[in-house]
């Protein structure tokens, strides 16, 4: 069964709001199905991660079950998974904000800071923060997490806090004894999701880990053994 259609992006929050995930639903009769994501050229693509969720079975017979659908994924290799963070400025200068997301529901809270990165490169900036939990984020390719499961990655991010209307002026040294929940020290959150029961695709488990930086421009180092889907 093929369900043709075109998705029109009418709000760029789809690309930048951490809480604006897309949902595709279908009521299926009994049978065997495949699900895939394709671009405008018909090429098989992957939207970083997909979570499959099944609702309560209908009060009738002849309906599809969890094992009726196979999700097709483009192949990926280890070389493509060396860097999990996209558009992070490591291999090329940052020219746009995608695929960075923001937890404050407003896509305009992410901007490119021209020339304010390391050695005069560009940087990703987050503005109009109102609480410790608001900030930058990014979804990690679940295929890499599956392929590299059991290995370790190191994450680093130089950070500085500047005046709201003067990004060239650093206004706040970081004191590790200050309260991170009062925006006085950077914090990193890692969210991971995995099925509690793969055979039934029951609701995903969830975990969070915080890491607090201890200096203004030092590197946040993270060594974390991979599980499944991650976002931060």
Provide the pLDDT for residue 183. Answer: 63
Count of helices and strands (H, E) across the chain? 2, 15
| Domains of the chain by residue range | 78-231
- pLDDT-derived band of residue 1, with 50, 70 and 90 as boundaries? very low
**Structure-model confidence comparison of residues 214 and 141, the more confident one:** 141
- For the stretch 188-192, contacts whose Cβ atoms lie closer than 8 Å and that sit 24 or more positions apart, written own/partner, are 188/155, 188/157, 188/212, 188/213, 188/220, 188/222, 188/232, 189/133, 189/232, 190/222, 190/224, 190/230, 190/231, 190/232, 191/230, 191/231, 191/232, 192/227, 192/228, 192/229, 192/230
pLDDT band with cut points at 50, 70 and 90 for residue 73: very high
Among residues of the chain, what percentage have pLDDT more than 70?
70
| Top CATH class, 78-231 | mainly beta
């Amino acid at each position: 069964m093929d369900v043709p259609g075109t998705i029109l992006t009418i709000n760029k929050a789809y690309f930048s709001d951490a809480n604006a995930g897309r949902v595709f639903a279908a009521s299926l009769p009994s049978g065997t199905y495949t699900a895939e994501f394709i671009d405008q050229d018909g090429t098989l693509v992957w939207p970083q991660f997909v979570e499959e969720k099944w609702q309560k079975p209908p009060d009738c017979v002849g309906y599809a079950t969890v094992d009726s659908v196979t999700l097709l994924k483009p192949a990926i290799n280890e070389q493509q998974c060396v860097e999990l963070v996209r558009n992070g400025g490591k291999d090329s200068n940052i020219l746009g904000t995608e695929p960075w997301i923001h937890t404050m529901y407003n896509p305009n809270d992410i901007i490119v800071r021209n020339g304010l990165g390391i050695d005069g490169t560009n940087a990703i900036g987050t503005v109009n923060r109102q609480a410790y939990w608001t900030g930058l984020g990014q979804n990690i390719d679940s295929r890499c997490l599956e392929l590299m499961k059991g290995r370790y990655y190191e994450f680093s991010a130089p950070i500085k806090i500047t005046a709201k209307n003067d990004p060239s002026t650093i206004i706040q040294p970081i004191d590790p004894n200050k309260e991170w929940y009062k925006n006085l020290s950077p914090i990193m959150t890692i969210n991971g999701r995995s099925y509690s029961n793969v055979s039934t695709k029951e609701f995903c488990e969830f975990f969070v880990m915080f890491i607090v930086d201890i200096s203004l421009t030092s590197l946040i180092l993270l060594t974390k053994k991979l599980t499944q889907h991650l976002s931060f």
